[in-house]
Amino acid sequence: MPRLILASQSPRRRELLEQIGLTFDVIPADINESVQAGELAVDFVARMAREKAEAVARQQPDALVLGSDTAVVVDEHILGKPADKADARRMLGLLSGREHAVLSAVALIVPGQAERVITQVSRVRFRSISETEMHAYWRSGEPKDKAGAYAIQGLGAVFVEHLSGSYSGVMGLPLFETARLLEEAGISSL
């Protein structure tokens, strides 16, 4: 069995990949995560997932490497992780009382093969969030390292009126798409 590496520092991604019974190592990728002028959100997340996988594959040329990226998109805004409390407040204000998209891309590099990327799109509708709740939510510590300043798997679940798409994708690693990529490469969960 070839070695599988998850190119991520995210504890959520590690838990999700463990959920489908895979054995793997974790090596975080250190890349520049800024959006290029005029770049569409779908292109941005796919490029980030690819660049994370490529950065680790350069150090580990014999391994299969998975990279992933998640962004929350509302209107033309791509929301990454909030810089501080004011930024989290801004993001939650944009998400309050309406629907947004969560884009999660996963890239797989297999030695000697063309790189593959799948981008999964979910739609999430939030109820209205009051100013008091935004402050309380920030104080919980949860928004800090999450795209869009919320976590569907945590306290943020109370805002989620409706989800269509992939719960694991919103959390950071779409498992259906990930399993499909790995199966094509000969790694099966079952």
Ligand X SMILES: Cc1cn([C@H]2C[C@H](O)[C@@H](COP(=O)(O)OP(=O)(O)OP(=O)(O)O)O2)c(=O)[nH]c1=O
Identify whether the C-beta of residue 23 lies closer than 8 Å to the C-beta of residue 11. Answer: no
| Least separation in angstroms between CB 81 and ligand X | 6
Interacting span for ligand X (CB under 6 A) from 88-96, 109-117, 127-135, 168-176: 168-176
- Does 84 participate in catalysis according to the annotation? no
| Least separation in angstroms between CB 119 and ligand X | 12
Contacts of 112 (CB under 8 A, 6+ apart): none
- The yes or no reply on residue 175 touching ligand X (CB under 6 A) is no
Element (H, E) at 161: strand 160-164
Rounded alpha-carbon distances, angstroms, from residue 31 to 49, 51, 65, 120, 172: 10, 7, 15, 22, 17
- The yes or no reply on residue 46 touching ligand X (CB under 6 A) is no
- The yes or no reply on residue 172 touching ligand X (CB under 6 A) is yes
Cα gap 51→24, rounded to integer Å: 19
- The yes or no reply on residue 92 touching ligand X (CB under 6 A) is no
Interacting span for ligand X (CB under 6 A) from 19-27, 64-72, 82-90, 128-136: 64-72
- The yes or no reply on residue 68 touching ligand X (CB under 6 A) is yes
- The yes or no reply on residue 151 touching ligand X (CB under 6 A) is yes
- The yes or no reply on residue 47 touching ligand X (CB under 6 A) is no
Cα gap 155→161, rounded to integer Å: 13
Given 43, 69, 84, 87, the catalytic residue: 69
Tokens of 99: 């629907």
Scanning the chain, the segments in alpha helix (DSSP H) are: 11-19, 41-59, 85-95, 131-139, 167-171, 175-184
Q: Binder to ligand X among 17, 64, 66, 72 (CB under 6 A)?
A: 72
Applying CB under 6 A, the residues found at the interface with ligand X are: 8-10, 12-13, 28, 52, 68-70, 72, 81, 102, 146-148, 150-153, 170-172
